[in-house]
Amino acid sequence: MKFSTICILGAPMDFGAGRRGVDMGPSALRKAGLQGKLTGLGYQIQDLGNVFVDQQESMPEGDSRAKFLESIAQSCAGLAAQVAGVIERGSFPLVLGGDHSIAAGTVAGVASAYRRKGQKIGLMWIDAHTDMNTPGTTPSGNVHGMPLACCIGHGPSELTRILGFAPKVDPKNVVLIGIRDVDREERDLVRSSGVSVFTMRQIDEMGLHQVMDRALAIVSDGTDGFHLSLDMDSIDPVEAPGVGTPVQGGMTYREGHLAMEMICDHGSLVSLELVEVNPVLDIANRTAELGVQLVASAMGKKIL
């Protein structure tokens, strides 16, 4: 890794999800020994605390097609500014969610910092879901199902235009891995968008090693590094029960680690976020502990 300092940022967001509790994810990940694991790998760690997120009970839901959009956008804008600042100081931002709506802020911050240098990033999205709904297609109105669409310029301007530009990433440098649950009306945007998708079927047929080889080529083609957005529901719920939208048939424990190890070996990772850890639904903090292990593999932990 080309970074010596990792800056941890918590984003205790639960406005975007349909089930409460994911706002405690950053605390669960810290409690699972994140800082110690990363210090043991030789990094200097700065924990910058949590970005401000309103209390959900005190805020209006707003439009049922994009619930709590104003509050989500405000927190994502603050997160974007902090992430951009971390990169501009030469450090590695590690963002702890919270629900996946925070990615609209994280990716905005990373893309903005590189854009100011005349550079661009790729985006790797490891998830059970494509997260490419818009207010016009969503069956639930939950914004955590929309952030990837926002990153490529589709969706509410409050999220697509964070830090004043859109899209944040070129779809040809975006890859989704582990997909196994896509809403019916969402599929049209996924198919027409230009992003690359590796579903669980491709992982089963090709093997994860070949999938990751292809994915890493896509996110690094003409870019200056890539951001990893890792949703813990990408892992099978047998291994990661503490998520809000579990889907059977996910990646195994070893597949998750292999993906992270290959990302580390590639050497182009410039930022990472881990989302959708819900301690209320977890068993003895198992999902957060696995999340910490996966982050450690992405940041350089080896078997030998």
What is the number of structural domains in the chain?
A: 1
The single residue of 129, 154, 227, 257 carrying the catalytic annotation is: 129
Three-state secondary structure call for residue 107: helix
Contact 170, 193 (CB under 8 A): no
- CATH number of the CATH domain containing 213: 3.40.800.10
Let me know if 239 is a catalytic residue: no
What pLDDT shows up at residue 60? 85
The single residue of 23, 144, 154, 261 carrying the catalytic annotation is 144
Mean pLDDT value across residues 74-84 = 98
Q: Per the domain annotation, does 28 fall within a domain?
A: yes
For residue 61 the two structure tokens come to 């839901």
Q: Is residue 9 part of a domain?
A: yes
Mean pLDDT on 132-137 = 97
- Residue of 233, 236, 255, 273 marked catalytic: 233
pLDDT tens, 156-200?
999 999 999 999 999 999 999 999 999 999 999 999 999 999 999
Residue 275 pLDDT = 98
How much is the pLDDT for 165?
98
Is there a domain that residue 236 lies in?
A: yes
**Given 14, 23, 99, 100, which residue is catalytic?**
100
Catalytic residue among 14, 23, 99, 131: 131
Q: Does 304 map to a domain?
A: no
**Is 231 part of the annotated catalytic residue set?**
yes
129 catalytic per annotation: yes
Cα-Cα end-to-end distance for the chain: 17
Residue 109 within a domain: yes
The pLDDT value recorded for residue 1 is 58
Confidence band, pLDDT 50/70/90 cuts, at residue 57? confident
* pLDDT reported for residue 171: 98
Q: Helix, strand, or coil here: 271? A: strand
20 pLDDT band, cuts 50/70/90, is confident
Annotation marks residue 127 as catalytic: yes
**Active-site residue among 186, 255, 276, 282?**
276
Task: Taking residues 98-102, report their average pLDDT.
Answer: 97
* 245-255 residue pLDDT tens: 999 999 999 99
Q: What is the DSSP secondary structure assignment for residue 200, as one 8-state letter?
A: H
Mean pLDDT, to the nearest integer, of 249-275? 98
- Strands in 159-247 per DSSP E: 174-179, 196-199, 226-231
Residue 82, helix vs strand vs coil: helix
303 found inside a domain: no
Smallest CA-to-CA distance from 250 within 274, 273, 231 is with: 231
Residue 68 lies in a domain: yes
- Told to judge if 100 belongs to the known catalytic residues of this protein, a careful annotator would answer yes
Cα dihedral 287/293/294/296 (nearest 10): 150
Cα distance between residue 92 and residue 269, in whole Å = 9
Q: pLDDT tens, 275-298?
A: 999 999 999 999 999 999 999 999
- What is the rounded CA–CA span in Å between residue 301 and residue 256? 13
Pull the structure tokens for residue 203.
């992982």
Q: Is the pLDDT of residue 19 over 90?
A: no
For residue 144, indicate whether it is catalytic. Answer: yes
Give residue 69's domain range.
Answer: 5-298
**pLDDT range class, residue 55, cuts 50, 70, 90:** confident
